[in-house]
Chain A
Amino acid sequence: MTLVGLSIKNVSRNRLRAVLTVFGVAIALLAFVFIRTTLDAWTGGAEHAAQDRLGTMHKVTFTMDLPRTYFDELDGTRGSVPGVKAATYQSWFGAKHPVREQEFFATIAVDTDTFFQVYEDMEVPAEQLAAWKEDRQGAIIGEALAKQFGWSVGDDVTLVGTIYPGDWKFTIEGIYTAKRRAVDKSQFLFHWKYLNESMKEQAPARAERIGWMTTLIEGSARGAEVAQAIDARFEERDIQTRTMSERALNMEFLGSFGAILTALDVVSGVILVIMMLILGNTIAMSVRERTNEYGVLLALGFRPKHIALFVMGEGIAVGLLGGLVGLALAYPFINGMGRWIEDNMGSFFPYFQIPPHVAITSLALAMLLAGLAAVIPAYRASRLDVIDALRRIG
């Protein structure tokens, strides 16, 4: 038996209370891990987004399009921007499922020849890719989207356009998988030519327009320089461009949710305060009940610092125990839910699993805060007068 051992043994003194406290800490920790995982999944998309891929769009707003001729100038094979390895273009199509219109997913009209050269982190079986390129109304969808709507290769699908009105018919020709966690696994990709030809018939003013261009840069090239070179090329035109890396773009998008992110940050702090209150309360109660015992220890020659350490040790032990139980609950609970979220809300959260650093941080925080919560009771216990304490019958 050691001093530390004694301190830890005290945890089992009042079993019911110990169990309740550990459970309380565990629940608080579960909530904390959940919020932090949400935040991480949210911002993680940006952090894991590609830096070697640049997006070029209308300088004023992403909602306005560019002439397709811009692409011909940019494409590394025909154009002359140094550092560009491959380039592609696409248009936001913004269609919805005809029935389940609340379920958001990205529908994008892409250039079939170049798209997968630039998006190397999306993988499609070769024969599906070939079939897709052949079929003017063919679409390639993400695995998560396929799961969400139960679509498989060969299915005929009709979507309702919001930006481009009308019913649009497609055939699923392939399903892509992601090689990187930030890749949205619920996109719906189809031929830009299909869109363009329809526009030529219905609304000639909207034909030959593209939403934005994406370039993959050489490994040795510097993103910022290439981006500047691209924008410089269109500087004197009627429509200027704004080019930035995918990561910077995502970061900017996140900025719009700054308030929500801050709110979640605050809330995750609040849960820690609640945890401290529960812990502090429990520790204060046990100190009060054990006053007499501390008196005995003091009489035997233990010093106030020993008593303080007992209290702190007990608090930290409860914190650690609660933390471990919380994590044990969090893994199946959050990761299980995370899988559901990935499948159903993949556009917002392509990857929703507890990051290791969150698990470690939360465990460390549980112990640290338990220690902090124990400071005041520990200080009080260490200030006990021997005779007074002995007189109190426990």
Chain B
Amino acid sequence: MSDEDVKAETDSKPDADAETKAKAKAKAEPKPEPEPQAKPDAEAETKPEVKPIKPAIIRCQGIGRTFWRGKERLDVLEDLDLEIAEGSFEALMGPSGSGKTTLLNLIAGLDRPSKGRLDVAGRNIGEMSDAALAKWRSQTIGFVFQHFNLIPVLTALENVQLPLLLTKVPSSERKQRAQTALRVVGLEDRMHHRPQQLSGGQEQRVGIARAIVHDPKIIVADEPTGELDRQSADEVLTLLERLNREFGKTILMVTHDPAAAERATVLRKLDKGRLL
């Protein structure tokens, strides 16, 4: 543990530098990311403070999710209604077993509701086949995990390219896009490092780069700061804020950490499968 702390601390300074540089670059470059988010990007920059009222990108209508453990019935979510507007940054808090991860999994299309209707980015999740869901996820959702979940044998650049392997994007462009994403998270000088050569904070930023490389509308983050020290956690949260504000990503974050929840624009609390 202490090793990692030292590493994170020594790394933090150049990182901060890199981040400001990345910011500068992102502004200087006319096309930091492929077209689709160019528009919200521009919008975000012109009117950063005032949030326009946008249609809900996520709509839960009376959804429930039931699990069976043998003969025992577990209603993790019950009759839940929720609307999340496009471009918002929401945090979901709640004690263990409150169903927040289940809700996140449903919204991310990893799971289907047992009842009710769930629309995400214009699609009815409950009606999609496994294959259709997988394809939809690969285009619409970016995942950020608590344990980073990078592939240890791949370099940062290769890890970030992973979601693009499912697309028909040619390899030279895959590489270019991954580089851009790593630049956004301020790791352009760590592209050829393997996960074990990175600090926890850096690993999570690679994870974020992987979550945005295919330009998803929605980013879901399950305890993104759970494994990080305070300073790295702050950097990651700042990055998420930026993705929300500058790139217009809708972000849904599950967290235990009040400091993290504070950074979100909306805070929701879940207990025993119901929103409070």
| Chains A and B touch each other in the complex, with CB atoms below 8 Å apart | yes
Query: Which A positions have Cβ atoms within 8 angstroms of B?
Result: 1-3, 6, 9-10, 12-13, 292-293, 295-303, 386-387, 390, 393
* CB < 8 Å neighbour of A292 from B111, B131, B149, B162: B149
Q: Told that A292-B149, A386-B111 touch, could you supply 18 new A-B pairs with CB distance under 8 A?
A: A1-B161, A1-B171, A6-B154, A6-B165, A13-B152, A13-B153, A296-B151, A300-B143, A300-B162, A300-B166, A300-B210, A301-B135, A301-B136, A301-B138, A301-B163, A302-B166, A387-B110, A387-B111
Interface pair A302/B154, CB less than 8 Å apart: no
Interface pair B154/A299, CB less than 8 Å apart: no
Interface pair A301/B137, CB less than 8 Å apart: yes
* CB < 8 Å neighbour of B149 from A6, A10, A296, A387: A296
Contacts of A296 in B (CB 8 A): 143, 145, 149, 151
Interface pair A393/B147, CB less than 8 Å apart: yes
Q: When chains A and B are docked, how far (Å) is the Cα of A2 from the Cα of B174?
A: 10
Shortest CB distance A28–B (Å): 26
User: For residue B131, which residue of chain A has the nearest CB?
Assistant: A303
- Of A12, A301, A386, most buried by chain B (CB within 10 Å of CB) is A301
- The secondary-structure label for the interface of chain B is helix
Interface pair A293/B149, CB less than 8 Å apart: yes
Query: Which B positions have Cβ atoms within 8 angstroms of A?
Result: 105, 108, 110-111, 131, 134-139, 143, 145, 147, 149, 151-154, 158, 161-163, 165-166, 171, 174, 210
Q: When chains A and B are docked, how far (Å) is the Cα of A9 from the Cα of B194?
A: 13
- Of A292, A298, A390, A393, most buried by chain B (CB within 10 Å of CB) is A390
Interface pair B171/A2, CB less than 8 Å apart: yes
Q: If A1-B161, A2-B165, A3-B165 touch, does A299 touch B151 (CB 8 Å cutoff)?
A: no
User: For residue A293, which residue of chain B has the nearest CB?
Assistant: B151
Q: When chains A and B are docked, how far (Å) is the Cα of A387 from the Cα of B151?
A: 18
Q: When chains A and B are docked, how far (Å) is the Cα of A292 from the Cα of B148?
A: 11
Number of inter-chain CB pairs below 8 Å: 63
Contacts of A393 in B (CB 8 A): 147
Q: When chains A and B are docked, how far (Å) is the Cα of A386 from the Cα of B210?
A: 18
Q: When chains A and B are docked, how far (Å) is the Cα of A300 from the Cα of B139?
A: 9
16 contacts across the A-B interface (CB closer than 8 A): A1-B154, A1-B158, A1-B165, A6-B151, A12-B153, A292-B147, A296-B145, A296-B149, A297-B162, A300-B166, A301-B135, A301-B136, A301-B139, A303-B131, A387-B105, A387-B110
Contacts of B145 in A (CB 8 A): 296, 390
User: For residue B110, which residue of chain A has the nearest CB?
Assistant: A386
Q: When chains A and B are docked, how far (Å) is the Cα of A1 from the Cα of B174?
A: 9
Contacts of A1 in B (CB 8 A): 154, 158, 161, 165, 171, 174
Shortest CB distance B137–A (Å): 4
Q: When chains A and B are docked, how far (Å) is the Cα of A293 from the Cα of B149?
A: 7
Interface pair A10/B153, CB less than 8 Å apart: yes
Contacts of A6 in B (CB 8 A): 151, 154, 158, 162, 165
Interface pair A299/B108, CB less than 8 Å apart: yes
User: For residue B138, which residue of chain A has the nearest CB?
Assistant: A301
- Of B111, B131, B163, B165, most buried by chain A (CB within 10 Å of CB) is B165
Q: When chains A and B are docked, how far (Å) is the Cα of A298 from the Cα of B163?
A: 10
Contacts of A295 in B (CB 8 A): 149
Contacts of B138 in A (CB 8 A): 300-302
User: For residue B220, which residue of chain A has the nearest CB?
Assistant: A299
User: For residue B149, which residue of chain A has the nearest CB?
Assistant: A296
Shortest CB distance B178–A (Å): 9
Q: When chains A and B are docked, how far (Å) is the Cα of A393 from the Cα of B148?
A: 11
Interface pair A299/B143, CB less than 8 Å apart: yes
Q: When chains A and B are docked, how far (Å) is the Cα of A179 from the Cα of B116?
A: 86
